[in-house]
Amino acid sequence: MPRTWLEVSLDRIALNYRQVSRLAGPGVELMPVVKADAYRHGATAVAQTLEHEGASWFAVSNVEEGKALREAGIRARILVMADRLDSDPRAWRDARLTPVIHDLAGISQLAPTLPYHLKIDSGMGRLGTRASASEILAHTRGTSLEGLMTHFASSANFSSEQTEAQHQRFEHIRQSLDSAGIRPRWLHEASTNPLHFGQKHTWRNLVRPGYAIYGFVSRPAGKAPAELLDVAPALTWKATILLVKDIEAGSPVGYGAQFVASRPMRIGILGVGYADGLPHRLGNRGHVIAAGRLVPILGAVSMDVTTVDLTSTPHLNAGDPVTLLGSEGDVSLDARQMARQAGTIAYAILCGISTRVNRIYV
Protein backbone atom coordinates (compact mmCIF):
# COMPACT_ATOMS: atom_id res chain seq x y z
CA MET A 1 0.00 0.00 0.00
CA PRO A 2 1.41 3.44 -0.87
CA ARG A 3 2.17 5.77 2.04
CA THR A 4 -0.43 8.27 0.86
CA TRP A 5 -2.76 8.47 -2.14
CA LEU A 6 -5.85 10.11 -3.63
CA GLU A 7 -8.98 8.36 -4.83
CA VAL A 8 -10.99 10.39 -7.32
CA SER A 9 -14.50 9.44 -8.38
CA LEU A 10 -15.01 10.45 -11.99
CA ASP A 11 -18.63 9.34 -11.67
CA ARG A 12 -19.10 11.90 -8.93
CA ILE A 13 -17.51 14.60 -11.07
CA ALA A 14 -19.87 13.68 -13.92
CA LEU A 15 -22.85 13.85 -11.53
CA ASN A 16 -21.76 17.26 -10.24
CA TYR A 17 -21.35 18.47 -13.83
CA ARG A 18 -24.82 17.23 -14.77
CA GLN A 19 -26.31 19.01 -11.79
CA VAL A 20 -24.65 22.31 -12.70
CA SER A 21 -25.69 21.82 -16.32
CA ARG A 22 -29.31 21.19 -15.34
CA LEU A 23 -29.29 24.29 -13.14
CA ALA A 24 -27.81 26.48 -15.90
CA GLY A 25 -30.53 25.26 -18.22
CA PRO A 26 -30.83 25.45 -21.99
CA GLY A 27 -29.05 28.31 -23.69
CA VAL A 28 -26.28 28.48 -21.08
CA GLU A 29 -23.12 26.52 -21.98
CA LEU A 30 -20.74 25.24 -19.32
CA MET A 31 -17.01 25.92 -19.42
CA PRO A 32 -15.67 23.69 -16.63
CA VAL A 33 -12.55 25.15 -15.07
CA VAL A 34 -9.77 22.53 -15.01
CA LYS A 35 -6.85 24.81 -14.11
CA ALA A 36 -4.29 23.69 -11.54
CA ASP A 37 -4.65 20.06 -12.65
CA ALA A 38 -8.42 20.28 -12.09
CA TYR A 39 -7.89 21.40 -8.49
CA ARG A 40 -5.68 18.27 -8.21
CA HIS A 41 -8.36 15.86 -9.40
CA GLY A 42 -6.35 15.36 -12.61
CA ALA A 43 -7.04 17.69 -15.55
CA THR A 44 -6.79 15.01 -18.23
CA ALA A 45 -9.16 12.50 -16.65
CA VAL A 46 -11.60 15.22 -15.58
CA ALA A 47 -11.64 16.85 -19.02
CA GLN A 48 -12.06 13.48 -20.75
CA THR A 49 -14.97 12.67 -18.45
CA LEU A 50 -16.65 16.03 -18.98
CA GLU A 51 -16.07 16.06 -22.71
CA HIS A 52 -17.93 12.76 -22.73
CA GLU A 53 -20.70 14.52 -20.76
CA GLY A 54 -20.92 17.11 -23.51
CA ALA A 55 -18.64 19.94 -22.37
CA SER A 56 -17.59 21.97 -25.40
CA TRP A 57 -15.32 24.43 -23.58
CA PHE A 58 -12.68 24.12 -20.86
CA ALA A 59 -10.87 26.87 -18.99
CA VAL A 60 -7.24 26.58 -17.89
CA SER A 61 -4.82 29.13 -16.48
CA ASN A 62 -1.82 28.82 -18.74
CA VAL A 63 -0.58 27.62 -22.11
CA GLU A 64 1.15 24.53 -20.68
CA GLU A 65 -2.11 23.36 -19.12
CA GLY A 66 -3.90 23.89 -22.42
CA LYS A 67 -1.27 22.04 -24.45
CA ALA A 68 -1.35 19.10 -22.03
CA LEU A 69 -5.09 18.73 -22.63
CA ARG A 70 -4.58 18.85 -26.40
CA GLU A 71 -1.86 16.20 -26.16
CA ALA A 72 -4.30 14.05 -24.19
CA GLY A 73 -6.73 14.29 -27.11
CA ILE A 74 -9.24 16.83 -25.80
CA ARG A 75 -11.09 18.31 -28.77
CA ALA A 76 -13.27 20.91 -27.02
CA ARG A 77 -12.35 24.60 -27.11
CA ILE A 78 -9.82 25.60 -24.46
CA LEU A 79 -9.68 29.11 -23.00
CA VAL A 80 -6.38 30.20 -21.42
CA MET A 81 -7.40 32.63 -18.69
CA ALA A 82 -4.23 33.91 -17.07
CA ASP A 83 -1.08 33.72 -19.14
CA ARG A 84 1.18 36.14 -21.02
CA LEU A 85 0.70 36.69 -24.68
CA ASP A 86 4.31 37.10 -25.70
CA SER A 87 4.46 33.97 -27.80
CA ASP A 88 3.85 33.79 -31.52
CA PRO A 89 0.12 34.04 -32.28
CA ARG A 90 0.62 31.07 -34.61
CA ALA A 91 1.47 28.97 -31.57
CA TRP A 92 -2.03 29.65 -30.24
CA ARG A 93 -3.57 28.56 -33.48
CA ASP A 94 -1.39 25.46 -33.79
CA ALA A 95 -2.32 24.33 -30.30
CA ARG A 96 -5.93 25.38 -30.88
CA LEU A 97 -5.95 27.43 -27.69
CA THR A 98 -8.00 30.58 -27.23
CA PRO A 99 -6.39 33.42 -25.26
CA VAL A 100 -7.99 35.79 -22.81
CA ILE A 101 -6.65 39.28 -23.49
CA HIS A 102 -6.32 41.58 -20.48
CA ASP A 103 -5.37 44.91 -22.00
CA LEU A 104 -6.00 46.78 -25.22
CA ALA A 105 -2.35 46.61 -26.27
CA GLY A 106 -2.67 42.84 -26.26
CA ILE A 107 -5.30 42.96 -28.99
CA SER A 108 -2.91 44.45 -31.55
CA GLN A 109 -0.34 41.74 -30.80
CA LEU A 110 -2.79 39.13 -32.05
CA ALA A 111 -3.15 37.87 -35.56
CA PRO A 112 -6.30 39.70 -36.70
CA THR A 113 -8.14 36.46 -37.33
CA LEU A 114 -7.30 34.70 -34.06
CA PRO A 115 -10.43 34.49 -31.91
CA TYR A 116 -9.92 35.86 -28.40
CA HIS A 117 -11.90 36.69 -25.29
CA LEU A 118 -11.47 40.11 -23.72
CA LYS A 119 -11.59 40.30 -19.96
CA ILE A 120 -13.08 43.38 -18.35
CA ASP A 121 -11.82 44.40 -14.93
CA SER A 122 -15.28 45.40 -13.78
CA GLY A 123 -14.06 46.17 -10.27
CA MET A 124 -12.14 43.21 -8.93
CA GLY A 125 -8.84 44.99 -9.49
CA ARG A 126 -7.02 41.98 -10.82
CA LEU A 127 -6.72 40.75 -14.43
CA GLY A 128 -8.68 42.49 -17.19
CA THR A 129 -8.81 45.90 -18.80
CA ARG A 130 -10.13 48.98 -17.03
CA ALA A 131 -10.36 50.92 -20.30
CA SER A 132 -13.52 52.90 -21.05
CA ALA A 133 -16.25 51.56 -23.29
CA SER A 134 -15.20 53.92 -26.13
CA GLU A 135 -11.54 52.84 -25.94
CA ILE A 136 -12.59 49.19 -25.96
CA LEU A 137 -14.82 49.85 -28.92
CA ALA A 138 -12.00 51.51 -30.85
CA HIS A 139 -9.62 48.62 -30.24
CA THR A 140 -11.97 45.69 -30.81
CA ARG A 141 -13.56 46.94 -34.04
CA GLY A 142 -12.56 44.70 -36.91
CA THR A 143 -10.95 42.06 -34.67
CA SER A 144 -12.10 38.51 -33.85
CA LEU A 145 -13.57 39.34 -30.45
CA GLU A 146 -15.30 36.07 -29.67
CA GLY A 147 -15.98 36.49 -25.97
CA LEU A 148 -16.41 39.21 -23.38
CA MET A 149 -15.88 38.17 -19.77
CA THR A 150 -15.41 39.40 -16.25
CA HIS A 151 -14.89 37.81 -12.84
CA PHE A 152 -16.48 38.69 -9.49
CA ALA A 153 -14.52 39.41 -6.32
CA SER A 154 -17.23 38.98 -3.68
CA SER A 155 -19.85 36.69 -5.16
CA ALA A 156 -20.66 34.86 -1.91
CA ASN A 157 -20.94 38.06 0.11
CA PHE A 158 -24.52 39.26 0.12
CA SER A 159 -23.87 42.22 2.36
CA SER A 160 -21.67 43.69 -0.38
CA GLU A 161 -22.83 45.66 -3.42
CA GLN A 162 -19.67 44.74 -5.32
CA THR A 163 -21.12 41.94 -7.46
CA GLU A 164 -23.99 44.09 -8.72
CA ALA A 165 -21.66 47.04 -9.36
CA GLN A 166 -19.34 44.77 -11.32
CA HIS A 167 -22.23 43.34 -13.31
CA GLN A 168 -23.44 46.87 -14.15
CA ARG A 169 -20.01 47.94 -15.32
CA PHE A 170 -19.76 44.83 -17.54
CA GLU A 171 -23.25 45.40 -18.90
CA HIS A 172 -22.44 49.02 -19.72
CA ILE A 173 -19.48 47.92 -21.85
CA ARG A 174 -21.48 45.15 -23.50
CA GLN A 175 -24.22 47.60 -24.46
CA SER A 176 -21.77 50.12 -25.88
CA LEU A 177 -20.24 47.42 -28.06
CA ASP A 178 -23.67 46.14 -29.01
CA SER A 179 -24.91 49.53 -30.20
CA ALA A 180 -21.82 49.74 -32.41
CA GLY A 181 -22.69 46.35 -33.88
CA ILE A 182 -20.03 44.37 -31.98
CA ARG A 183 -21.72 41.33 -30.49
CA PRO A 184 -19.29 38.75 -29.08
CA ARG A 185 -20.59 35.21 -29.44
CA TRP A 186 -19.89 34.41 -25.79
CA LEU A 187 -20.60 36.50 -22.70
CA HIS A 188 -19.43 35.11 -19.36
CA GLU A 189 -19.34 36.40 -15.82
CA ALA A 190 -20.29 33.57 -13.45
CA SER A 191 -18.15 31.01 -11.63
CA THR A 192 -19.62 28.61 -9.03
CA ASN A 193 -21.05 31.17 -6.60
CA PRO A 194 -23.39 33.10 -8.92
CA LEU A 195 -24.69 29.73 -10.14
CA HIS A 196 -25.21 28.28 -6.68
CA PHE A 197 -26.88 31.42 -5.35
CA GLY A 198 -29.03 31.90 -8.44
CA GLN A 199 -27.74 35.23 -9.82
CA LYS A 200 -29.27 34.36 -13.16
CA HIS A 201 -28.69 37.76 -14.72
CA THR A 202 -24.95 36.97 -14.64
CA TRP A 203 -25.20 33.60 -16.34
CA ARG A 204 -25.43 35.03 -19.87
CA ASN A 205 -24.72 32.24 -22.37
CA LEU A 206 -21.59 30.73 -20.76
CA VAL A 207 -20.61 30.00 -17.14
CA ARG A 208 -17.27 28.97 -15.66
CA PRO A 209 -17.81 26.57 -12.74
CA GLY A 210 -14.77 25.05 -11.06
CA TYR A 211 -15.43 24.49 -7.36
CA ALA A 212 -18.92 23.02 -7.89
CA ILE A 213 -17.61 20.47 -10.39
CA TYR A 214 -15.34 19.16 -7.63
CA GLY A 215 -18.24 19.07 -5.19
CA PHE A 216 -17.90 22.31 -3.26
CA VAL A 217 -19.82 25.54 -2.78
CA SER A 218 -18.88 28.56 -0.71
CA ARG A 219 -20.52 29.47 2.54
CA PRO A 220 -22.33 32.76 2.01
CA ALA A 221 -21.99 35.93 4.07
CA GLY A 222 -24.96 38.20 4.70
CA LYS A 223 -28.54 37.50 3.69
CA ALA A 224 -28.02 34.85 1.02
CA PRO A 225 -30.69 33.74 -1.43
CA ALA A 226 -31.60 30.05 -1.62
CA GLU A 227 -28.72 27.69 -2.32
CA LEU A 228 -29.37 25.71 -5.48
CA LEU A 229 -26.65 23.08 -5.85
CA ASP A 230 -26.28 19.90 -3.86
CA VAL A 231 -22.93 18.66 -5.13
CA ALA A 232 -20.58 16.30 -3.29
CA PRO A 233 -16.77 15.99 -3.15
CA ALA A 234 -15.17 13.56 -5.57
CA LEU A 235 -11.82 13.24 -3.84
CA THR A 236 -10.70 11.03 -0.97
CA TRP A 237 -7.22 11.42 0.55
CA LYS A 238 -5.77 8.49 2.44
CA ALA A 239 -2.54 7.75 4.30
CA THR A 240 -1.06 4.55 5.65
CA ILE A 241 -0.03 4.02 9.25
CA LEU A 242 3.73 3.37 9.17
CA LEU A 243 4.13 2.53 12.85
CA VAL A 244 1.98 2.13 15.95
CA LYS A 245 3.44 2.46 19.44
CA ASP A 246 2.53 3.02 23.07
CA ILE A 247 4.01 5.96 24.92
CA GLU A 248 4.02 6.81 28.63
CA ALA A 249 2.55 9.89 30.25
CA GLY A 250 5.01 12.77 29.92
CA SER A 251 6.41 11.65 26.53
CA PRO A 252 6.96 14.42 24.00
CA VAL A 253 5.80 13.90 20.41
CA GLY A 254 7.48 15.33 17.34
CA TYR A 255 9.49 18.48 16.51
CA GLY A 256 9.69 21.03 19.27
CA ALA A 257 7.90 18.69 21.68
CA GLN A 258 4.78 20.63 20.77
CA PHE A 259 2.68 17.84 22.23
CA VAL A 260 3.37 16.04 25.50
CA ALA A 261 1.24 13.03 26.47
CA SER A 262 -0.70 13.69 29.66
CA ARG A 263 -1.55 9.99 29.99
CA PRO A 264 -0.34 6.72 28.50
CA MET A 265 -1.28 6.76 24.83
CA ARG A 266 -1.17 4.73 21.68
CA ILE A 267 0.07 6.78 18.75
CA GLY A 268 0.21 6.13 15.03
CA ILE A 269 2.77 7.63 12.68
CA LEU A 270 1.21 8.32 9.26
CA GLY A 271 3.10 8.36 5.98
CA VAL A 272 1.95 11.85 5.03
CA GLY A 273 3.36 15.27 5.82
CA TYR A 274 3.52 18.85 4.66
CA ALA A 275 5.60 17.83 1.61
CA ASP A 276 2.46 16.00 0.50
CA GLY A 277 0.35 19.09 1.06
CA LEU A 278 -0.98 18.38 4.53
CA PRO A 279 -0.87 21.88 6.03
CA HIS A 280 1.80 22.39 8.69
CA ARG A 281 -0.78 24.53 10.49
CA LEU A 282 -2.76 21.37 11.33
CA GLY A 283 -0.18 20.52 13.98
CA ASN A 284 -2.00 19.99 17.31
CA ARG A 285 -5.31 21.09 15.78
CA GLY A 286 -6.22 18.90 12.80
CA HIS A 287 -7.95 15.53 12.73
CA VAL A 288 -8.00 12.41 10.59
CA ILE A 289 -10.52 9.57 10.44
CA ALA A 290 -9.14 6.33 11.86
CA ALA A 291 -11.36 3.24 11.96
CA GLY A 292 -14.42 5.45 11.53
CA ARG A 293 -13.55 7.85 14.35
CA LEU A 294 -12.24 11.39 14.30
CA VAL A 295 -8.81 11.34 16.00
CA PRO A 296 -6.53 14.32 16.66
CA ILE A 297 -3.17 15.11 15.11
CA LEU A 298 -0.54 15.21 17.87
CA GLY A 299 2.27 17.76 17.75
CA ALA A 300 3.83 19.20 14.63
CA VAL A 301 3.04 17.96 11.13
CA SER A 302 6.48 17.09 9.70
CA MET A 303 7.67 16.98 6.12
CA ASP A 304 6.92 13.29 5.53
CA VAL A 305 5.08 12.03 8.57
CA THR A 306 2.31 13.06 10.96
CA THR A 307 1.44 11.56 14.34
CA VAL A 308 -2.14 10.87 15.43
CA ASP A 309 -3.78 9.61 18.62
CA LEU A 310 -4.86 5.98 18.17
CA THR A 311 -5.68 5.35 21.85
CA SER A 312 -9.37 4.97 20.99
CA THR A 313 -8.70 2.63 18.04
CA PRO A 314 -6.31 0.05 19.54
CA HIS A 315 -7.00 -2.55 16.86
CA LEU A 316 -5.35 -0.44 14.12
CA ASN A 317 -1.92 -1.60 12.99
CA ALA A 318 0.93 -0.52 10.79
CA GLY A 319 -0.22 -0.90 7.20
CA ASP A 320 -3.81 0.13 7.90
CA PRO A 321 -5.12 3.21 6.09
CA VAL A 322 -6.63 6.33 7.63
CA THR A 323 -8.65 9.04 5.88
CA LEU A 324 -7.48 12.65 5.70
CA LEU A 325 -10.30 13.82 3.40
CA GLY A 326 -13.37 11.73 2.74
CA SER A 327 -15.62 9.57 4.87
CA GLU A 328 -15.63 6.32 6.80
CA GLY A 329 -19.09 5.21 7.83
CA ASP A 330 -20.96 8.33 8.86
CA VAL A 331 -17.87 10.29 9.86
CA SER A 332 -16.56 12.62 7.19
CA LEU A 333 -13.96 15.33 6.76
CA ASP A 334 -13.92 17.55 3.70
CA ALA A 335 -11.52 20.18 2.40
CA ARG A 336 -13.62 22.99 3.85
CA GLN A 337 -13.33 21.55 7.36
CA MET A 338 -9.62 20.93 6.97
CA ALA A 339 -9.22 24.48 5.68
CA ARG A 340 -10.99 25.93 8.68
CA GLN A 341 -8.71 24.03 11.04
CA ALA A 342 -5.65 25.14 9.09
CA GLY A 343 -6.72 28.79 8.74
CA THR A 344 -6.87 28.65 4.94
CA ILE A 345 -9.45 28.05 2.18
CA ALA A 346 -10.57 24.74 0.70
CA TYR A 347 -9.30 25.76 -2.75
CA ALA A 348 -5.79 26.01 -1.30
CA ILE A 349 -6.12 22.63 0.45
CA LEU A 350 -7.10 20.95 -2.84
CA CYS A 351 -4.50 22.68 -5.02
CA GLY A 352 -1.89 22.22 -2.31
CA ILE A 353 -1.97 18.41 -2.42
CA SER A 354 1.46 17.68 -3.81
CA THR A 355 2.16 15.86 -7.08
CA ARG A 356 4.03 13.35 -4.91
CA VAL A 357 0.61 11.99 -3.89
CA ASN A 358 -0.51 9.54 -6.55
CA ARG A 359 -4.06 9.49 -7.77
CA ILE A 360 -6.21 6.50 -8.52
CA TYR A 361 -9.57 6.73 -10.24
CA VAL A 362 -12.36 4.76 -8.68
Ligand X SMILES: *Cc1c(COP(=O)(O)O)cnc(C)c1O
Q: Are 325 and 235 in contact (CB under 8 A)?
A: yes
4 binds ligand X per the rule CB under 6 A: no
Classify burial at 84, counting beta carbons within 10 Å of its beta carbon; exposed 0-12, middle 13-18, buried 19 or more: exposed
Q: Binding pattern to ligand X, positions 168-197, x when CB under 6 A?
A: -----------------------xx-----
Shortest separation between residue 362's beta carbon and ligand X, angstroms: 23
Residue 81, interface with ligand X (CB under 6 A)? yes
Across the beta sheet with 98-101, the strand order is: 29-30, 206-207, 186-188, 145-149, 116-119, 98-101, 77-80, 57-60
Residue closer to ligand X (CB basis): 192 or 306: 192
Instruction: For residue 304, give every residue at least 6 positions away whose Cβ sits within 8 Å of its Cβ, in sequence order, or none.
Output: 271, 272, 273, 275, 276
Instruction: Pick the piece of the chain touching ligand X (CB under 6 A) from 4-12, 209-217, 264-272, 296-304.
Output: 209-217
Cβ distance to ligand X smaller for residue 186 or 274: 186
33 binds ligand X (CB under 6 A): yes
How far is the C-alpha of 345 from the C-alpha of 350, rounded, in Å?
9
CB of 234 to ligand X, least distance (A): 14
> Measured from the CB atom, is 82 or 242 closer to ligand X?
82
Q: Using CB atoms, what's the residue nearest to ligand X?
A: 210
Q: Tell which one of 151, 167, 238, 287 touches ligand X (CB under 6 A).
A: 151
- Taking the complex as a whole, the smallest distance from the CB of residue 336 to ligand X amounts, in Å, to 13
Residue 352 touching ligand X (CB under 6 A): no
Stretch that binds ligand X, among 71-79, 204-212, 274-282, 295-303 (CB under 6 A): 204-212
End-to-end CA distance of the chain: 16
Q: Does 210 bind ligand X (CB under 6 A)?
A: yes
Sorted by sequence, the CB contacts under 8 Å of residue 308 that are 6+ apart come out as 267, 268, 270, 288, 290, 295, 296, 297, 298, 322
What distance in Å separates the CA atoms of residue 264 and residue 251, rounded to the nearest whole number? 9
**Rounded CA separation 226/249 (Å):** 51
* Of 77 and 208, CB closest to ligand X: 208
Candidates 49-57, 207-215, 315-323, 334-342: pick the segment binding ligand X (CB under 6 A).
Answer: 207-215
Please identify every residue annotated as catalytic. Answer: 35, 255
CA torsion angle for 348, 354, 355, 356 (degrees, to 10)?
A: -170
- Residue 124's Cα: distance from chain center in Å? 19
Minimum distance of ligand X from residue 68's CB (angstroms) = 17
From 3-11, 205-213, 312-320, 332-340, give the range in contact with ligand X by CB under 6 A.
205-213
Nearest-Å Rg of the Cα atoms of the chain is 23
Q: State how far the Cα of 55 lies from the Cα of 69, in Å rounded to an integer.
A: 14
What residues line the site for ligand X (CB under 6 A)? 33, 35, 81, 151, 191-192, 208-211
